[in-house]
A and B are shown apart, each in its own frame.
Chain A
């Protein structure tokens, strides 16, 4: 088989390319993007959609074409041509996908780097911290044990973008996952809440930990997710750029009511955020985190859950049992 190069294949090629380009950019599949980082992930997704659409159309088109065009005709009992292969063609269809995936890898790496995924501060993990040689600078590894909740701690997740590396985030929030609630603690102001309030336009770092089982912090509008693993810490750094309320879910199966482990991320303008902080400080005697955990009804004002609040209350018993059964 020769690599086809007739006018008609050229035309088909052009149509395919245009279709893929159009669909890749107009699929409308992603939710609103609420951070700069999210926009970059969307660009990457669009690019992959263009390629995927093209390949999808080629394969499905070939299948349909074969089904009609090369169908055995009635009464024809002969075989097709005894063609065993075509080395140039095989090399071509090995090389093109290889080039595509290498290119996607490089592009993904670029995006991941700008997101802060390869920030050296998050590049190790907790268990590696005693072996300085796994890190670039001994200065990073040495003081770790003495600075438990400092932002310099080597953790998992997505760290600072290359621009901000070495600086600490403008606002830090400690996030704890437990069955079946998120607890947000603002170390600067001492506030503890069940909803995450954040200002837009500032670099934010959330420090993730878990009390009982693995949970995962996910805000679809941020395209960010990270497991909160008992015994480890993890972090995410991002900058919101859009005021609004976004769902903040648990994405890792964490027990019966995993599906209801959902709260809100509320992105404020900086002024609104300050007002919120003040109102909280006035109102607060810091909430007891245990109370929050054992009574999920308190924290979830998301509408759809209201009908099941009763059921979840029943589960309180279960929750406390579980907490005790930890060895």
Chain B
């Protein structure tokens, strides 16, 4: 028994401990179990990550020398277009949804998502769509970048562009369906004893993420449908010769795609807030501030989109408005970062692989955050917009923020998800390679951009050759760094040492159930008696004495906690 009590619930539960063990085939079915769907998301996402990574390696190989000698410039444009699209829509967003699927119900003591079938639909949209998108390589793949600005996007490659629009529309639909499901689940399915402001911070992060997904994604859909009309039937919504305006597309696109960067990174902010307290053995520092800062980021995220358009069709006074709102986002982000640092401060930090990746996350995200504040400054952004400075920034934020976050989460929840421990030393090797590969690849890109190298070019001035070469070496190290991880994950999953239910002595609900969780998640519903972050409070640290811990928080009026008994935990 840990922080919570497992209380026999009113409904009758059939006991099905071993007869319903999960088989590997289940992962290829239209399962409605949120845990299966979570894993399906994660594994599918990772496969697409390997594709996107291969494209990135091809891009960097091309850029190893100034001449366009590895691929021709036309193909190059398709490479970075599909690279960006795959990484965003088929890797980060699905990975966030995967963790949310797996963890949300467990964290709030629910048996499943609010709409299990919808959940499965949201997932099953993804694999065929991803294959569709990649198949465009056999035709004439889209070449207008993941932003797909008209008029270029409606002139460069018709078939590829149409496939691109179709894919992104479908992936957006999946993300809206997922978002609705998360919102309703968080709102309706919490155990009665868990108030909103006692929810784990990952849940807060997903709440904010889902709000963004539900509000902003339809706008992207609108933009893409109009773009499809322009492309396929010759309307002129965005075509000036017919009275349209390409800048309108940019507004619609960025109204979604700026919030999208928070859709991509907020879940991993949530992951940090879960993992750091556990491995620092301290409560999260400033729970409320971190929770509300997620909402603040969501809200501010909706009113900063035109900072992507400072050098486009944005009049001067409007640039100033967007400069200020963008700058202000740094404040809630800073609150989170300082909160995590303060959580670590004075703790008993276990420097294991989840914690190392978490620290790697903070370390790289801060670079992206600082360059982000710089980019918000209009006079400076005018210089570096659409250069490698932006490429560096976006990869520090998106790639650093997602990849370190995802690995943190995988190493942390691996025992729960698979019932096996993942190999530690190889995790550390993986971390070191990733961290150095990452910084070697992207740090020098800041210099390239400042010095004058534009982005999205296959050929560049020889003065940039040396720095580009360094970046390319870095990207190879990065590519190699996934190998120890892959081997480790597969090996540990199949034959790693068996994991205990709660190997980290963590306090979240998800650690109350068996590893991996039974199909119904909990035999009996848990009751929140002690906060999920109350490390180091009273004598919680003594694992054996946890069963006698007193109630720390008042629980909901309709659900008086019964006092703890040590034998009520399911085992």
List the interface of chain A (C-beta within 8 A of B): 1, 29-31, 40-41, 44-45, 48, 52, 55-56, 59-60, 62-63, 66-67, 70-73, 76-86, 89-90, 93-94, 97-98, 101-102, 104-105, 108-109, 111-112, 115, 117-119, 122-125, 127-128, 156, 158-159, 212-214, 216, 218, 220, 223-227, 229-232, 234, 247, 249-260, 262, 304-305, 307-308, 311, 322, 325-327
Contact = CB atoms under 8 A, between A and B. Distances in A.
A80 B319 contact: no
Given A70-B349, A72-B281, A327-B239, A101 B67 contact: no
Given A29-B447, A225-B385, A257-B73, A1 B342 contact: yes
Q: Which of A84, A250, A305 has the most CB of B within 10 A?
A: A84
Contacts of B66: 304
28 contacts: A40-B379, A44-B377, A60-B363, A70-B280, A70-B348, A72-B349, A79-B540, A80-B347, A82-B282, A86-B342, A90-B289, A101-B376, A104-B373, A108-B378, A109-B323, A115-B379, A117-B316, A117-B378, A119-B316, A123-B317, A224-B382, A225-B385, A225-B386, A234-B313, A253-B456, A256-B156, A326-B151, A327-B242
Interface string B327-341: 110110011011101
Contacts, number: 317
Contact of A89 (B283, B342, B387): B342
A191 B456 CA distance: 32
Interface stretch (B36-44, B141-149, B473-481): B141-149
Contacts of B541: 77-79
Contacts of B371: 52
Contacts of B344: 62-63, 66, 70
A118 B378 CA distance: 11
Contacts of B314: 156
Contact of B457 (A119, A156, A258, A307): A258
A80 B280 contact: yes
A112 B383 contact: no
A259 B341 contact: no
B437 to A, nearest CB: 18
A250 B351 CA distance: 47
B74 interface: yes
B240 interface: yes
Given A66-B347, A93-B338, 8 more contacts: A56-B366, A63-B341, A70-B345, A72-B351, A78-B541, A81-B346, A93-B334, A225-B385
Nearest to B243: A231
A66 B241 contact: no
A56, A127, A156, A253 — which one has the most chain B CB atoms within 10 A of its CB?
A: A253
B459 A308 contact: yes
B484 interface: no
B342 A158 contact: no
Contacts of B380: 41, 44-45, 48, 108
A75 B303 CA distance: 51
B382 A158 contact: yes
Given A83-B283, A253-B456, A101 B155 contact: no
Interface string B528-554: 000001111110110000000000000
B117 interface: no
Interface in B353-367: 359, 362-363, 366-367
B398 to A, nearest CB: 18
Contacts of A128: 315
B350 interface: yes
Q: Which of B342, B533, B535 has the most CB of A within 10 A?
A: B342
B246 to A, nearest CB: 6
A309 to B, nearest CB: 12
Contacts of B286: 84-86, 90
A82 B382 contact: no
B184 interface: no
A305 to B, nearest CB: 8
Nearest to B247: A229
B309 to A, nearest CB: 8
Contacts of B72: 256, 311
B152 A255 contact: yes
B483 interface: no
Contacts of B239: 326-327
Contacts of B149: 214, 252-253
Interface string B77-103: 100000000000000000000000000
Given A55-B366, A80-B535, A230 B456 contact: no
B287 interface: yes
B460 interface: yes
Contact of A249 (B242, B334, B359, B454): B454
Contacts of A311: 72
B385 A251 contact: yes
B370 A52 contact: yes
B438 to A, nearest CB: 14
A48 B450 CA distance: 14
Nearest to A224: B382
Contacts of A118: 316-317, 320
B535 A82 contact: yes
B450 A29 contact: yes
Contacts of A127: 245
Contacts of B155: 212-213, 255, 322, 325-326
A131 to B, nearest CB: 13
